[in-house]
């Protein structure tokens, strides 16, 4: 008896109570990518791209843009323009123009982090130029632009041409006192979109950029990775007649950081990285199958890479951004009081950093 | 339906675990970061040991009273009319605690889905489930908790996803630096362990074979280990300041998990946490019911349970924001911590008096 | 009853139990009188199929049902001495009948009804059993087919079925209790168990429950088990039924009680657990790794059956975030032509599938196949093209239907299919939380269920890790040494092979 009563009660409850927060798939417009640009009067222009998949219309994506004080403010304007319910849960890419980033991304990022529907895996990228134009432009030989950007960023970051930057990582590095966040830069290249180096942030402000040529070395210095390929011109500057060129792939790199404190001297940091790779292409006089000659090439590569690394390091120190996370290692080598007593951002440019990269050829392909 | 079967050690262990873990687990890492700063997760050991000591205190009651139910212990020495208000007060605290824990869970869920649906709709369903469990009796509740345990234990495997982003150097070598210890909040942390004290009322449902105290301690250590593991991963995945800025770090971490066929696992997994929440709620309501049974011995248990759940449902209308519920819950857990220590102490005193009183009679 | 009385009854405990008013105790006792021909004929008045033969020269009267008896046996033992024999032979025959002498009229009539021949000789009455009804030959089971292993199945004739068990278990410890159920049908029900292996607690309980049944007729095993249920409101079967003698024998040696009903080709076993419904005797005839894989597959099938369509509804209605990037456009595209919300779409397709299944089951095999093709291809394909459903839903519905048929027990699979509808409804109302509310409700219900008083979720709760290797996987025989804990057997070890 009791059980029947309970059952009936439940049934009635279920019928009486309607859930009302429907997000039925075809009635929602899930933003796939968003762009943020700075316009005058301290306002921002937001553009969004919503993929459409209705077979009855030819449209591939719906684009909206509006200008307003904040991104939430602008959203209300979009909502009036579309028949779909706008939602944020499927955002994959957020693009910020360099101009906006120079001013500070603080408001933007803080705005996103609070939204529970936005995934922490959203990719963040900086656009060299106008972000909205880049997002709204159609590239003939590519997928719809929003997807194209997403996949480009994904592929490039798995190959370590750029660091992987998601909202989670960006925020994490922002909050950590021993490391500063970075983000990839992309730009319009006529027919295509290309990556254009790495943006360096001090807190939420864009302060500098690493060239795309140096991006891989930067990634080596930033952390361990697998995959990725690199080509190097082994010529020294004085003899440019002889062809001397090497390209290696399937890199495996592991990094170690050693911190040394000495009295009355700046902190000494040594970054040691071991890079293993398979040589895919080599144009030059030395024979790879000969151990001594191969070691010679390896040493040459190591030396060139170390030089580059040190150059990057200088650049970072000049800009006072610790994008490599050296502070984390320094912090972990000190007592809490000393660390808090020292202003790392001020000390950082003074630190003596020595990058030692070692290359080792795992194999050298089919030819001997 | 009440079976006379006694709890088995395994069931008791799992049951205690299910009671203890609950919605507080979601907030725990943030509280640890806030209060203890770097490597705050280590303090969970301490909290675990505190809880164990408390269980041992209850063990003393169990030993001295030779497994007699606390009602028999109390009513032997104290007149019933004096006990009735105490019973009612305890019932009130437990009923409220259960109903607030349920409501908190639902409000958190609503941040992620169904933001505009009335929380009371969900609360109603939850209360119906709780009522159903209540009518089944303790043995079946414990049995059900075992099944639910197996349904959520695979959660732990999901944490493997974070090994790629986990970094020891992010944890820093500093111990408890950069936190702001506040007594009230650390009591909040402790309240995520609370739940073991309900074994005080389970004496009558156990026998020698249950090894009640041992099982409770084992259950408590499983809870401690689970919390430790969770907190360890969160501290290694998030930087300290970031952790402090998150309201529900665990949920956000779950959002990170991505399978080829499904993403944003927090939407699904948050539902699974319902299981542990359900048992926290059920057990507190059960305790309240036990008290009410003593006060109104003439009323049918199912009717009492119905009235209890009805009043819980009505009371749950009062606080309607997450913060309000959180405040209620903090206050109630504070009282609950007091009960967890105070009630066994009172019982020990009563028992000592009884033993002194009865000894001459023996000789 | 006034409202206040009703309330009072709901609220307040009854003190002291009512004395049992036993209505069956004082039945009129006239049937226990010594049998007479007149009384017997009176009983069978208006039964035109009864045969009454008189042999006044020998003072013998025969009463029997022509269609129930074995003619040859009847003529050899009784008719031929009467027709052709001398006085001496007749008295010799009567001497042979002495052990079948009966003193109770009721007994006589019951035995005639059960295929005996009633012999009246003066004041004496005998009843001699020559029962031999028309019988279907032993054939394969339609509902429980296996690939390897024995193919024979029980028939409706209880003697044949019992013989199949006896032939497989040549032990005097195999005991059979005969009971009769049904006030009109007087159906024979047999309880089988193996002495020293079974726990008599279960035998007594089963016997008690069968004896309590007071109904006009019992027609099938699946009917009697519903009279014996622990929880009559449950959707789940609380007894395992099977038509396969090998399966039933395996339950017997595991220490379970088996019940068989005359006229039904299936037998039931108890106590049983939820997980037992997921194992088939096939598992034991294959290599253990294969058997284990198939068992795991069945549990996966169970999860698919109850959750696939519900997940589709929940995700497309509420939780769009959960859909991976590559899937969301395909899903949206196929959904965009559908005019109904996902909940109605899903219910529509699920009902269609159930209609197809039911139609297929009712029709003869050949037409059933046609229905399958018409339903599967025409409706599935056409519904998508007409824009009534999305093709991804068709996949979800079809795979959950297929998965439901993987579960070996037809009764369980039907129950699970019904539960699915509840979950779909909940998913349409409350999304993922709704599904989990549903699952919670199912688990709460399951954990309160019992089968013959032992827990329905046996090796999980109460927790018996030893048994898991014969429930979730099928471990090699060398490690299956003990009988299941659920049967609580006094003789625990079943396998002493040393290797």
C-alpha torsion sign, points C444, C449, C455, C459: negative
Residue B116, pLDDT score: 82
Q: Is the CB of A336 inside 8 Å of chain C's CB atoms?
A: no
The mean pLDDT of B313-339, rounded to a whole number, is 90
Closest to C317 (Cβ–Cβ): which among A22, A117, A150? A22
C-alpha torsion sign, points C468, C472, C473, C474: positive
C-alpha torsion sign, points B234, B236, B240, B241: negative
pLDDT tens, residue by residue, C291-308:
999 999 999 999 999 999
Closest to A20 (Cβ–Cβ): which among B116, B124, B131? B116
CA–centroid distance for B127 within its chain: 17
Low-confidence ranges of chain A (pLDDT < 70): 1-4, 6, 10, 13-20, 236-242
Dihedral angle over CA of C410, C411, C415, C418, nearest 10: 60
Half-sphere exposure of B57 (CA within 13 A, CB side): 19
At A170, which helix (H) or strand (E)? helix A167-175
pLDDT at C21 over 50: no
pLDDT tens, residue by residue, C478-495:
888 899 988 889 988 988
Q: Among residues of chain B, what percentage have pLDDT more than 70?
A: 97
Residues 2-31, chain C, touching B (beta carbon < 8 A): 10-13
The CA distances from residue A17 to A62, A261, B107, B285, in Å, are 35, 67, 17, 25
DSSP state of B6: P
CB A177 to CB B169 under 8 A? Answer: no
Residue B161, pLDDT score: 83
CA–centroid distance for C220 within its chain: 8
CA distance C425 to chain A (A): 9
Q: Are B103 and B328 in contact (CB under 8 A)?
A: no
Residue C237 token pair: 């079967």
CA distance C316 to chain A (A): 5
CATH class of the region A214-368: alpha beta
User: In chain B, whose CA is at the least distance from the CA of A110?
Assistant: B245
Dihedral angle over CA of C363, C367, C368, C374, nearest 10: -130
User: In chain A, whose CA is at the least distance from the CA of C331?
Assistant: A25
> Beta strands of A80-122 (E only): which ranges?
85-87, 93-97
The CA distances from residue B240 to A179, A192, A338, B349, C130, in Å, are 12, 40, 18, 45, 90
Residue C28, pLDDT score: 44
pLDDT tens, residue by residue, C128-155:
888 877 778 888 888 888 888 899 999 9
Q: Looking at beta carbons, which residues of chain C come within 8 Å of B251?
A: none
Q: Which of A204, A254, A327, A336 to mutate to test the interface with B (most CBs of B within 10 A)?
A: A336
Residue indicated by tokens 């687990």: B25
Q: Where are the alpha helices (DSSP H) in C240-363?
A: 245-253, 282-285, 288-317, 325-335, 342-362
Q: Give bridge partners of residue A273 from the DSSP assignment.
A: A255, A357
Q: Looking at beta carbons, which residues of chain C come within 8 Å of A29?
A: none
Q: Looking at beta carbons, which residues of chain B come within 8 Å of A171?
A: 242
DSSP state of B226: H
Residue A340 token pair: 């808090």
DSSP state of B263: B
Q: Looking at beta carbons, which residues of chain A come within 8 Å of C341?
A: 22, 24
Write the CB contacts of A85 (distance below 8 Å, at least 6 apart in sequence).
Answer: A23, A27, A28, A29
Q: Is the CB of C227 inside 8 Å of chain B's CB atoms?
A: no
Residue C26, pLDDT score: 41
Note the residue count of chain C: 499
Q: Is the CB of A174 inside 8 Å of chain C's CB atoms?
A: no
Sequence ranges of the domains in chain C = 35-129, 158-272, 288-454
Please tell me the distance from the alpha carbon of residue C60 to that of residue C34, in angstroms, as a whole number: 17
Inter-residue long-range contacts of C74-82, CB under 8 Å, 24+ positions, other chains counted: C74/C117, C74/C130, C77/C128, C77/C130, C78/C117, C78/C119, C78/C128, C82/C55, C82/C58
Please tell me the distance from the alpha carbon of residue C368 to that of residue C358, in angstroms, as a whole number: 10
Please tell me the distance from the alpha carbon of residue C421 to that of residue C346, in angstroms, as a whole number: 9
CB B114 to CB C318 under 8 A? Answer: yes
Cβ contacts from A onto B, under 8 A:
71
Closest to B302 (Cβ–Cβ): which among A2, A119, A176? A2
Please tell me the distance from the alpha carbon of residue C54 to that of residue C63, in angstroms, as a whole number: 9
Residue B246 token pair: 């998150």
The neighbour count for residue C430, using CB atoms within 10 Å, is 28
CA distance B114 to chain A (A): 5
The CA distances from residue A61 to A53, A54, A135, B16, B174, in Å, are 8, 10, 11, 53, 51
| Answer CATH for B9-351 from 1.20.140.10, 1.20.1740.10, 1.10.10.2840, 1.10.490.10 | 1.20.1740.10
Q: Looking at beta carbons, which residues of chain B come within 8 Å of A339?
A: 174
Residue B96, pLDDT score: 93
Residue C424 token pair: 């779909």
> Beta strands of A129-204 (E only): which ranges?
182-189, 192-202
Residue C194, pLDDT score: 94
pLDDT tens, residue by residue, A209-246:
888 888 888 888 887 777 778 888 877 655 555 677 88
Q: Is the CB of A87 inside 8 Å of chain C's CB atoms?
A: yes
Residue A14, pLDDT score: 64
Q: How confident is the model at residue B18 (pLDDT cuts 50, 70, 90)?
A: very high
CB B172 to CB A89 under 8 A? Answer: no
At B146, which helix (H) or strand (E)? helix B119-152
Residue indicated by tokens 């864009």: A206
DSSP per position, B286-342:
HHHHHHHHHH-TTB-HHHHHHHHHHHHHHHTTS--SHHHHHHHHHHHHHHHHHHHHH
User: In chain B, whose CA is at the least distance from the CA of A8?
Assistant: B128
The CA distances from residue C354 to C150, C315, C375, in Å, are 31, 23, 11
Residue B47 token pair: 């909290």
Q: Are A253 and A223 in contact (CB under 8 A)?
A: no
Q: Which residue has the higher pLDDT, C285 or C26?
A: C285
Q: Which residue has the higher pLDDT, B196 or A161?
A: B196
The neighbour count for residue B244, using CB atoms within 10 Å, is 21
CB C462 to CB B125 under 8 A? Answer: no
Helices C365-373 and C342-362: angle between axes, nearest 10 degrees? 160
Q: β-strand A93-97 against A352-363: which pairing, if any?
A: unpaired
Please tell me the distance from the alpha carbon of residue C348 to that of residue C356, in angstroms, as a whole number: 12
pLDDT tens, residue by residue, B264-308:
888 888 888 899 999 999 999 999 999 999 899 888 888 999 999
The mean pLDDT of C274-285, rounded to a whole number, is 91
Write the CB contacts of A233 (distance below 8 Å, at least 6 apart in sequence).
Answer: A244, A245
Please tell me the distance from the alpha carbon of residue C450 to that of residue C399, in angstroms, as a whole number: 31
The CA distances from residue A323 to B7, B62, B130, C406, in Å, are 58, 59, 52, 56
pLDDT tens, residue by residue, B230-240:
999 999 888 88
Q: Looking at beta carbons, which residues of chain B come within 8 Å of A121?
A: 255-256, 258
pLDDT tens, residue by residue, C92-128:
888 888 778 888 888 888 888 888 888 888 888 888 8
pLDDT at B324 over 50: yes
Q: Which of C9, C229, C315, C332 to mutate to test the interface with A (most CBs of A within 10 A)?
A: C332
Residues 79-108, chain B, touching C (beta carbon < 8 A): none
At A135, which helix (H) or strand (E)? helix A131-136
Residue B176, pLDDT score: 83
Q: Is the CB of A172 inside 8 Å of chain B's CB atoms?
A: yes
Q: Which of B135, B174, B254, B301 to mutate to test the interface with A (most CBs of A within 10 A)?
A: B174
At B343, which helix (H) or strand (E)? helix B322-362
Q: CA-based Rg of chain B, rounded to a whole angstrom?
A: 21
pLDDT tens, residue by residue, C443-490:
999 998 999 989 999 888 888 888 898 889 999 998 888 999 888 899
Half-sphere exposure of C472 (CA within 13 A, CB side): 11
Residue C31, pLDDT score: 56
Closest to C447 (Cβ–Cβ): which among B113, B147, B275? B147
Q: Are B215 and B198 in contact (CB under 8 A)?
A: no
Residue indicated by tokens 């248990």: B301
CB C13 to CB B299 under 8 A? Answer: yes
Sequence ranges of the domains in chain A = 24-210, 214-368
Residue C181 token pair: 């159920």
User: In chain B, whose CA is at the least distance from the CA of A21?
Assistant: B114
DSSP per position, B89-142:
HHHHHHHHHHHHHHHHHHHHHHHHS-SSS-HHHHHHHHHHHHHHHHHHHHHHHH
User: In chain B, whose CA is at the least distance from the CA of C8?
Assistant: B299
CB B300 to CB C446 under 8 A? Answer: no
Residue C17, pLDDT score: 46
Residue C272 token pair: 């049983």
Q: Are A98 and A156 in contact (CB under 8 A)?
A: no
Q: Looking at beta carbons, which residues of chain B come within 8 Å of A9?
A: 128
Residue C409 token pair: 């027990």
Give the neighbor-by-neighbor strand order of the sheet with C187-194: C174-181, C187-194, C257-261, C267-270, C240-242
The neighbour count for residue A301, using CB atoms within 10 Å, is 23
Helices B266-295 and B119-152: angle between axes, nearest 10 degrees? 100
Residue C445, pLDDT score: 92
Please tell me the distance from the alpha carbon of residue B123 to that of residue B278, in angstroms, as a whole number: 11
Residues 101-130, chain A, touching C (beta carbon < 8 A): 117, 119
pLDDT at C24 over 50: no
């Amino acid at each position: 008896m009791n059980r029947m009563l309970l059952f009936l009660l439940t049934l009635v409850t279920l019928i009486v109570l309607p859930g009302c927060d429907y997000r039925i798939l075809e009635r929602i417009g899930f933003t796939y990518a968003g762009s943020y640009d700075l316009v005058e009067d301290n306002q921002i222009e937001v553009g969004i791209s919503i993929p459409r998949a209705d077979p009855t219309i030819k449209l591939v994506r719906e684009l909206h843009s509006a200008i307003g004080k904040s991104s939430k403010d602008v959203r209300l304007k979009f909502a009036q323009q579309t028949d779909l319910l706008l939602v944020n849960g499927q955002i994959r890419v957020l693009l910020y123009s360099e101009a906006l980033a120079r001013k500070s991304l603080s408001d933007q990022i803080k705005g996103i982090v609070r939204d529970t529907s936005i995934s922490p895996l959203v990719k963040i990228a900086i656009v060299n130029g106008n972000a909205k134009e880049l997002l709204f432009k159609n590239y003939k030989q590519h997928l719809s632009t929003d997807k194209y950007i997403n996949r480009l960023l994904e592929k490039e970051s798995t190959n370590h041409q750029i660091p992987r930057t998601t909202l989670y990582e960006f925020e994490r590095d922002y909050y950590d006192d021993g490391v500063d966040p970075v983000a990839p830069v992309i730009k319009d290249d006529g027919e295509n979109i290309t990556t254009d180096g790495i943006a360096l942030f001090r807190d939420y402000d864009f302060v500098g950029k690493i060239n795309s040529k140096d991006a891989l070395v930067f990634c080596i210095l930033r952390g361990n990775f697998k995959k990725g390929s690199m080509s190097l011109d082994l010529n020294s500057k004085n003899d440019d007649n002889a062809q001397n060129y090497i390209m290696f792939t399937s890199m495996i790199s592991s990094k170690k950081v050693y911190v040394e404190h000495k009295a009355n001297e700046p902190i000494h940091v040594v970054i040691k990285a071991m890079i293993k790779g398979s040589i895919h292409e080599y144009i030059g006089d030395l024979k790879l199958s000969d151990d001594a000659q191969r070691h010679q090439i390896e040493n040459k590569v190591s030396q060139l890479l170390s030089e580059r690394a040190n150059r990057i390091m200088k650049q970072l120190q000049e800009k006072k951004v610790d994008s490599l996370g050296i502070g984390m290692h320094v912090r972990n080598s000190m007592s809490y009081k000393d660390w808090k007593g020292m202003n790392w951002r001020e000390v950082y440019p003074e630190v003596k950093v020595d990058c030692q990269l070692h290359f080792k050829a795992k194999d050298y392909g089919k030819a001997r | 339906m009440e079976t006379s079967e006694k709890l088995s050690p395994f069931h008791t262990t799992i049951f205690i675990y299910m009671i203890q873990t609950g919605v507080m687990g979601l907030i725990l890492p943030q509280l640890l970061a806030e209060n203890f700063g770097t490597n705050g997760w280590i303090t969970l050991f301490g909290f675990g040991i505190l809880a164990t000591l408390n269980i041992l205190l209850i063990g003393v009651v169990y030993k001295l009273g030779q497994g007699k139910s606390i009602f028999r212990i109390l009513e032997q020495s104290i007149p019933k009319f004096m006990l009735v208000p105490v019973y009612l007060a305890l019932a009130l605290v437990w009923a409220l605690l259960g109903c607030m824990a349920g409501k908190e869970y639902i409000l958190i869920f609503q941040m992620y889905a169904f933001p505009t649906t009335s929380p009371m709709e969900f609360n109603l369903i939850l209360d119906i489930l709780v009522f159903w469990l209540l009518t089944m009796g303790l043995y079946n509740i414990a049995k059900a908790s075992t099944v639910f345990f197996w349904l959520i234990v695979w959660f732990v495997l999901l944490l493997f996803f974070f090994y790629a982003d986990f970094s020891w150097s992010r944890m820093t070598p500093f111990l408890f630096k950069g936190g702001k210890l506040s007594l009230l909040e650390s009591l909040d942390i402790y309240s995520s362990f609370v739940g073991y004290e309900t074994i005080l009322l389970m004496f009558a449902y156990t026998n020698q074979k249950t090894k009640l105290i041992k099982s409770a301690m084992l259950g408590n250590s499983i809870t401690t280990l689970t919390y430790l593991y969770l907190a360890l991963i969160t501290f290694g995945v998030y930087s300290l300041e970031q952790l402090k800025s998150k309201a529900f770090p665990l949920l956000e971490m779950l959002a990170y998990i991505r399978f080829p066929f499904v993403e944003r696992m927090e939407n699904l997994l948050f539902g699974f946490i319902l299981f542990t929440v359900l048992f926290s709620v059920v057990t507190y309501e059960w305790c309240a019911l036990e008290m009410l049974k003593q006060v109104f011995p003439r009323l049918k248990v199912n009717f009492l349970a119905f009235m209890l759940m009805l009043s819980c449902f009505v009371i749950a209308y009062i606080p309607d924001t997450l913060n309000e519920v959180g405040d209620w819950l903090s206050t109630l857990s504070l009282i609950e911590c007091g009960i967890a220590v105070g009630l066994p102490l009172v019982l020990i005193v009563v028992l000592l008096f009884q033993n002194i009183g009865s000894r001459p009679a023996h000789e | 009853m006034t409202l206040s009385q009703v309330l009072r009854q709901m609220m307040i405990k009854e003190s002291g139990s009512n004395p049992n008013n036993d209505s069956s105790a004082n039945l009129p006792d006239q049937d226990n009188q010594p049998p007479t021909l007149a009384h017997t004929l009176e009983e069978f008045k208006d039964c035109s199929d009864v045969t009454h033969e008189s042999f006044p020269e020998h003072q013998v009267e025969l009463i029997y049902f022509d269609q129930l008896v074995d003619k040859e046996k009847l003529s050899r033992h009784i008719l031929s001495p009467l027709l052709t024999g001398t006085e001496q032979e007749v008295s010799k025959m009567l001497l042979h009948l002495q052990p079948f002498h009966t003193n109770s009229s009721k007994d006589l009539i019951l035995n005639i009804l059960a295929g005996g021949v009633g012999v009246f000789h003066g004041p004496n009455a005998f009843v001699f059993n020559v029962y031999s009804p028309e019988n279907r030959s032993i054939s394969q089971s339609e509902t429980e087919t296996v690939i390897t292993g024995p193919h024979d199945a029980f028939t409706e004739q209880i003697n044949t079925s019992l013989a199949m068990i006896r032939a497989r278990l040549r032990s005097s410890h195999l005991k059979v209790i005969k009971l009769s159920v049904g006030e009109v049908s007087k159906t024979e029900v047999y309880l089988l168990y193996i002495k020293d292996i079974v726990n008599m607690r279960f035998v007594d309980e089963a016997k008690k429950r069968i004896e309590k049944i007071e109904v006009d007729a019992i027609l099938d095993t699946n009917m009697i088990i519903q009279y014996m249920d622990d929880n009559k409101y449950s959707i789940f079967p609380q007894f395992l039924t099977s038509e396969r003698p090998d399966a039933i024998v395996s339950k017997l040696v595991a220490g379970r009680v088996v019940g068989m009903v005359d006229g039904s080709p299936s037998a039931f076993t108890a106590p049983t657990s939820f997980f037992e419904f997921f194992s088939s005797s096939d598992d034991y005839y294959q290599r253990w790794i294969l058997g284990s894989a198939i068992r795991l597959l069945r549990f996966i099938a169970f999860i698919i059956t109850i959750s696939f369509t519900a997940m589709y509804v929940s995700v497309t209605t509420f939780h769009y975030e959960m859909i991976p990037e590559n899937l969301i456009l395909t899903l949206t595209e196929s959904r965009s032509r559908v005019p109904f919300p996902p909940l109605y779409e899903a219910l529509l397709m699920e009902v269609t599938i159930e209609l197809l299944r039911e139609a297929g089951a009712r029709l003869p095999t050949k037409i059933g196949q046609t229905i399958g093709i018409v339903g599967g291809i025409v409706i599935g394909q056409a519904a998508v093209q007409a824009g009534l459903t999305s093709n991804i839903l068709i996949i979800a519905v079809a795979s959950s239907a297929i998965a439901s048929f993987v579960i070996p027990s037809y009764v369980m699979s039907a129950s699970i299919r019904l539960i699915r509808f509840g979950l779909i409804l909940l998913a349409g109302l409350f999304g993922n939380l709704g599904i989990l509310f549903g699952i919670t409700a199912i688990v709460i219900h399951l954990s309160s269920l019992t089968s013959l008083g032992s827990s329905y979720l046996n090796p999980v709760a109460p927790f018996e890790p030893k048994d898991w290797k014969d429930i979730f996987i099928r471990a090699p025989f060398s490690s299956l040494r003990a009988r299941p804990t659920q049967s609580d057997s006094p003789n625990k070890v079943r396998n002493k092979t040393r290797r």
